[in-house]
Amino acid sequence: MFKQNRNLLIIALIAIVNALGYGIIIPILYSYSMKYGLSDFQNGLLFATFSICQFFATPVIGRLSDKYGRKPLLVFSIAGTALSFLMMAFAPSAIFLFIARALDGITAGNIPVASAVITDTTEPKDRAKGFGIIGASFGFGFIFGPAISAATSSINPALPFIIAAVVSIVAVIMTALFLPETNKNMGQVKHDGLFNFGKLLHALTNRTIGATLLLSLLFFTSFSMFIYAFQSASVRVYHMSPSQISLLFTVFGVLSLVAQLVTLGLATKAFGVKRTFITSLLWISIVFVVMSFTRSILAFIICNIMLGLVNSFIQPLSQTILSEETDPKEQGEMQGLNASYMSIGQIIGPILAGIFATYSVTSPFLGAGLLAFGCFILSFQIFSHLPKKVHISP
């Protein structure tokens, strides 16, 4: 696909930049922010700041890319990410940490716009593979992000952020120099507001796309609950060190990369998108429930390995489904709306997990499993209402 569509190389780099940033930040942000005197509650707000800003910004950036082109919006959003990393590295006070996370959230529309580039430049039958490249790039970033943190944070706590900023700047330059404009329908959108709450809510009731957007909301709420539970359980239940946690994140990244590059294509070819998607959701819900009851570190690690093998299927397949449900002229806007619902899930998830955790450290895993099972049930409705033009096999 890279030979046929060189734009995918740029898109892959953009996804790697996002994953590197996330992979670098997650293992060290808590301890890094503690140096600025933040309490646990303030740390929770710091984590939520990114998702809150992302929620408002991504549909705006997606819609602007429909009107003015993918390339300028990608350059803008990646540059914002680079600046946010530099602000984190050299923040003179805690308020700058919040400003940096807000800036990263405001300019976090690069993945929805990158997804629109894939839709612009690939045939429907190849889109699952195209979105899979984004997922594979995330897996690549998750391999090296935690590894960078583990290797460099002991040298200088700010060094991982500087490295992430340099990678982002390289992505800005490559996008500006080598990515052509792919939007052939610029300006062919309705001239209404950039952010429309009514449209965001109405989209959930739309017979064609509503169930898919709702699934994104529920799944990312579930996965955010898992991330919260993983951090607390690994320390308080399994007594893992920061380096061990980073190593497990790296293993998860390796498995995600393998799943996206190899397993996803094989699974969709053998079973089709529908069966692969539905089975993956069921598998994830079972793994989450098992993690809520086990107290064995070996079982905990095995569950994470099993999760890594199938979790990476969900986003590229759901993006493929959504792209087929959406008018070609509105791909950027719809991918942006989808990202907004992902952001809502990333805001709600930690809050729900905190409520569950008041009863038990591992109970958020159970809540995550129940929500994932709800996604499994919802997936049947999605496939029953898909347009006839959808290619079930990539």
* Residue-wise pLDDT tens digits, 226-276: 987 887 788 778 887 767 777 787 787 788 777 777 788 788 888 887 888
Confidence of residue 356 (pLDDT cuts 50, 70, 90): confident
- The answer to whether position 192 is within a domain reads no
- Tell me which of 114 and 96 has the higher pLDDT: 96
- Tell me which of 73 and 337 has the higher pLDDT: 73
Q: Are 221 and 371 in contact (CB under 8 A)?
A: yes
Most confident of 134-138, 264-268, 382-386: 264-268
Considering just the CA atoms, what is the radius of gyration of the chain in Å?
20
List the CATH number of the domain containing 46: 1.20.1250.20
- The answer to whether position 185 is within a domain reads no
- The answer to whether position 208 is within a domain reads yes
Given a cut of 90, whether residue 288 has pLDDT beyond it is yes
Res 92: pLDDT: 93
DSSP 8-state code for residue 208 = T
Confidence of residue 9 (pLDDT cuts 50, 70, 90): confident
- Tell me which of 381 and 189 has the higher pLDDT: 381
**338 residue type, one letter:** N
Res 190: pLDDT: 56
Count Cβ atoms below 10 Å from residue 387 Cβ, excluding itself.
Answer: 9
Confidence of residue 320 (pLDDT cuts 50, 70, 90): confident
Q: What's the domain count of the chain? A: 1
- The answer to whether position 392 is within a domain reads no
Task: Name the nearest CA neighbour of 119 among 338, 367, 365.
Answer: 338
- The answer to whether position 282 is within a domain reads yes
Residue 120's domain spans which residues? 7-179+197-384
- Rounded CA separation 295/317 (Å): 33
Res 394: pLDDT: 36
Confidence of residue 100 (pLDDT cuts 50, 70, 90): very high
- The answer to whether position 267 is within a domain reads yes
Res 119: pLDDT: 78
- The answer to whether position 276 is within a domain reads yes
Given a cut of 90, whether residue 132 has pLDDT beyond it is no
Segment 362-389 mean pLDDT: 83
Given a cut of 90, whether residue 87 has pLDDT beyond it is yes
- Rounded CA separation 304/233 (Å): 13
- Tell me which of 335 and 115 has the higher pLDDT: 115
Given a cut of 80, whether residue 71 has pLDDT beyond it is yes
* Residue-wise pLDDT tens digits, 163-191: 888 888 888 888 888 888 877 776 665 55
Residue 177 is encoded by which pair of tokens? 């120099």
- The answer to whether position 83 is within a domain reads yes
Given a cut of 90, whether residue 371 has pLDDT beyond it is yes
Given a cut of 50, whether residue 391 has pLDDT beyond it is no
Buried b (16+ CB within 10 A) or exposed e, 299-325: ebbebbebbbbbbbbbbbbbbbbbbbb
- Tell me which of 190 and 370 has the higher pLDDT: 370
Where helices occur in 326-389 by DSSP H, the ranges are: 331-357, 363-384
Q: Are 112 and 77 in contact (CB under 8 A)?
A: no
Task: Name the nearest CA neighbour of 140 among 222, 259, 30.
Answer: 259
Given a cut of 90, whether residue 199 has pLDDT beyond it is no
- Rounded CA separation 304/359 (Å): 23
Segment 321-342 mean pLDDT: 71
Task: Name the nearest CA neighbour of 280 among 301, 256, 319, 307.
Answer: 307
- Rounded CA separation 164/87 (Å): 12
